[in-house]
Amino acid sequence: MEYRHKHIAMMKRFFTIFALVWALAACEKAPTIITDDSPEYTGTMVVAYEGEDFEQTGIKVLGEFDESKTTIDIKLQKVKFVPAMPIRIDVTIMDVPVVSDGEGSWTFEADGLTPWAMGGPYETYRVDDLRGTISGDSIEFSLGFFNTKKQENYPTSYSGILN
């Protein structure tokens, strides 16, 4: 009988901990849903890696403004960051403050953001010194992907044209 009571108490603790973890995860913001109406750009991404530039062409970037147009989520689609990377991934940089010049151009900048990749926050890499513009049919930005484990920065730039 004592075993049964211990087992029930242990299960109650497990479910309490599970509920707390689930509640905390539910509070975390998920990336903005990128829709077919989101601006889509195609261009070139360059990553400085081990003293050389790793250039990829045909990279798609989607942008999605929040309702008040004070922030933008930027989604880089199917990118590799180093030549030996075995797969291409999508990376979303969320909640980037954006400012309009009132004439159709936007500037944005941010520092210390955690990007989303592979289904959740990707804390191994931090987005630092993000700066860019959206003007007419083009987008340009630069940033550093900082590897928090290796303490290395990978300067990255992108230039694209609206599809």
Same domain membership, residue 64 and residue 82: yes
Identify whether the C-beta of residue 98 lies closer than 8 Å to the C-beta of residue 107.
yes
% pLDDT > 70, the chain: 77
Same domain membership, residue 127 and residue 100: yes
Question: Which CATH number covers residue 152?
Answer: 2.40.160
What H or E segment, with its residue span, contains residue 142?
Answer: strand 138-147
What H or E segment, with its residue span, contains residue 149?
Answer: none
Q: What is the DSSP string of 46-65?
A: EEEETTEEEEEEEEEEEEEE
Same domain membership, residue 86 and residue 63: yes
Residue-wise pLDDT tens digits, 53-75 = 999 999 999 999 998 999 999 99
Q: State pTM to two decimals.
A: 0.77
In a domain, 35, yes or no: no
Q: Which residues contact 57 (CB under 8 A, 6 or more apart)?
A: 43, 44
| Overall domain count for the chain | 2
Residue-wise pLDDT tens digits, 88-129 = 999 999 999 999 999 989 999 999 999 999 999 999 999 999
Same domain membership, residue 72 and residue 113: yes
Interval 132-161 mean pLDDT? 96
CA distance 35 to 97: 20
What pLDDT does residue 6 have? 54
Whether the per-residue pLDDT at 141 is higher than 90: the answer is: yes
Whether the per-residue pLDDT at 9 is higher than 50: the answer is: no
Whether the per-residue pLDDT at 138 is higher than 70: the answer is: yes
In a domain, 49, yes or no: yes
Same domain membership, residue 4 and residue 68: no
What pLDDT does residue 154 have? 96
Q: How confident is residue 38, by pLDDT bands cut at 50, 70 and 90?
A: confident
Whether the per-residue pLDDT at 44 is higher than 90: the answer is: yes
